[in-house]
Structure 1
Amino acid sequence: MRTDPVVPDGWWATGIDGARGLYEVFGRRPASLEGAVCTLMRFDPFPLNLSVIVELADAPDPLPGRWRRKGYDAASMRLQFLECRDVRSSGALPTGGCSIDVEPVGDHTRARLCAEDFELELTSRFASVRVDPFRRGDPDSVITLFS
Structure 2
Amino acid sequence: MMKINVTVNDEQLEMEVGYDEFLVEALRRYGFNSVKRGCDTGCCGLCTIWINDQPTLSCSSLAVRANNQKITTIEGLQEEATDFAKVLVKEGAEQCGFCSPGFIMTILAMKRELKNPTEEEIIHYLTGNLCRCTGYLGQLRAVKKYMGVV
Indicate whether the TM-score tops 0.5: no
Taking structure 1 as the reference length, the TM-score comes to 0.28
Taking structure 2 as the reference length, the TM-score comes to 0.27
More strand by share: 1
More helix by share: 2
